[in-house]
Amino acid sequence: MPVIQVQGLTKAYRTYKKQPGFVGAIQGLFHREYETLLAANDVTFSVNEGELVGFLGPNGAGKTTTLKMLAGLLYPTRGTAQVLGYVPWERKDGYRRQFALLLGQKNQLWWDLPARESLELNSKIYGISGAVFERTVSEMTELLDVKDKLNVMVRELSLGERMKMELIAALLHQPKVLFLDEPTIGLDVVSQKKVREFLQHHNSTRKTTILLTSHYMADIQALCQRVIIIDRGTVFFDGRLAEVLDRFADFKVVTIQCAGGGSCSAADLTKYGEVVEQTPASIRLKVKRDRVIPVCKALLDELPVSDIDIQEVPIEDIIRQIFAR
């Protein structure tokens, strides 16, 4: 049975359309025009225990709104959802003790206290014993390489260090479900890699069900086999990440290197595909998937090729094209 079940989840906001200028402000006192904005529109999906699912979409697509409804922070306009058998917005104590929501741009640690004191406060709230608290904090701080930062004021931590402490605070009570909204936003590549490795380890050892949003495709590729793509509040795609390539990438990138002293110029490269880059020594082309083999043969016959490389299109480019549609 799925841990997360969402059916027709919709969240609508009624917003006031103010006319510009002073006259518009006066008119608004007597007659107001409203419009309905669908932040989430008939969202339907399910997630099984232990899955780590990427929740993708452009800014304003409805990802955070959906996570907040699943965390019980927002009431839906219509639709149903169950997480661990609970209706999230009923906010039952049994549910609140089994999930965690981490928003990358929101603080949950006390700014003017050492990180350890905020963690100790969380342990008291969740009724975690002293021995379990010490063991959990020791293990997580070591994995995230912040053991020596526990007694530092949160406001004095770097962004990466603070984000790691926020992650420890979210996982301190060992939730069965974790909602992550941009956990690596603004972090340097080293910190991003450390957080990704930690999440991968935690998911594999604890079997925590994780729903992750991120604009960094490196996060998604490293962690998620399955992705849910949402746009304008509606689920656009739900399936394996590899299927995104099969369904939306109808071409591959062919790169050829010419032999020393040879020229990589050809009379008409456009007959082979889209020219992405061309130098005297190399050519990079986008070639339709079903034409890759004949194009490579033709290039080998026409040019003094010393090396040839065929690659899938970067997943970032594919997602960007999907959103652009």
Q: What is the domain range of residue 256?
A: 250-314
Same domain? 193 vs 256 = no
- Banded model confidence at residue 209, pLDDT cuts 50, 70, 90: very high
Residue 269: the pLDDT is: 77
Residue 135 has pLDDT above 80, yes or no: yes
Q: 92 to each of 42, 108, 272, how far by Cα in Å?
A: 24, 21, 61
Q: Does residue 179 sit in the same domain as residue 280?
A: no
Same-domain status, 97 and 211: yes
State residue 267's pLDDT score.
60
Pick from 221, 250, 223, 226: which is nearest to 238 by CA? Answer: 226
User: How many independent structural domains does the chain possess?
Assistant: 2
- Domain assignment present for residue 104? The answer is yes
Q: CA 101, CA 175: separation in Å to the nearest integer?
A: 10
Same domain assignment for residues 82 and 204: yes
Number of Cβ within a 10 Å radius of residue 165? 26
Instruction: Classify residue 259 by its DSSP letter.
Output: P
DSSP count for the chain of H helices, then E strands: 11, 13
pLDDT digits (tens, 9 = 90+) for 37-92: 888 889 999 999 999 999 988 877 888 899 999 999 999 999 999 999 999 999 99
pLDDT digits (tens, 9 = 90+) for 245-292: 777 777 888 888 887 655 666 567 778 888 888 887 888 888 888 888
Q: Which amino acid is at 60?
A: G
Residue 324 counted as domain residue: no
- Clarify whether residues 136 and 281 are in a common domain: no
Q: What is the mean pLDDT of the chain?
A: 86
Domain presence at residue 263:
yes
Does residue 239 form part of some domain?
Answer: yes
On whether the CB atoms of residues 272 and 287 are closer than 8 A, the answer is: yes
Q: Which residue has the tokens 């780590």?
A: 52
| C-beta atoms surrounding 76 within 10 Å | 21
Last residue of a domain, one of 246, 276, 301: 246
Nearest Cα neighbor of 194 from 205, 204, 183 is 183
- Which of 202, 223, 246 is the last residue before a domain boundary? 246
Q: Alpha-carbon distance 97 to 235, whole Å?
A: 29
Residue type, 125: I
Q: Looking at the domain assignment, is residue 162 inside a domain?
A: yes
The pLDDT of residue 46 is 95
Single-letter amino acid, residue 296: C
Query: Domain holding 136: CATH number?
Result: 3.40.50.300
pLDDT at residue 182 in the model: 87
- For residue 287, the domain's CATH number is 3.30.70
Report d(CA 84, CA 99) in Å as an integer.
9
Residue 322 forms part of a structural domain: no
The string of DSSP letters for 199-245 reads: HHHHHHHH--EEEEE-S-HHHHHHH-SEEEEEETTEEEEEEEHHHHH
Looking at the domain assignment, is residue 287 inside a domain?
yes
Does 18 share its domain with 122?
yes
Residue 3 pLDDT exceeds 60: yes
Rounded Cα–Cα distance for residues 320 and 325 (Å)? 9
- The highest-confidence range among 30-34, 100-104, 310-314, by mean pLDDT, is 100-104
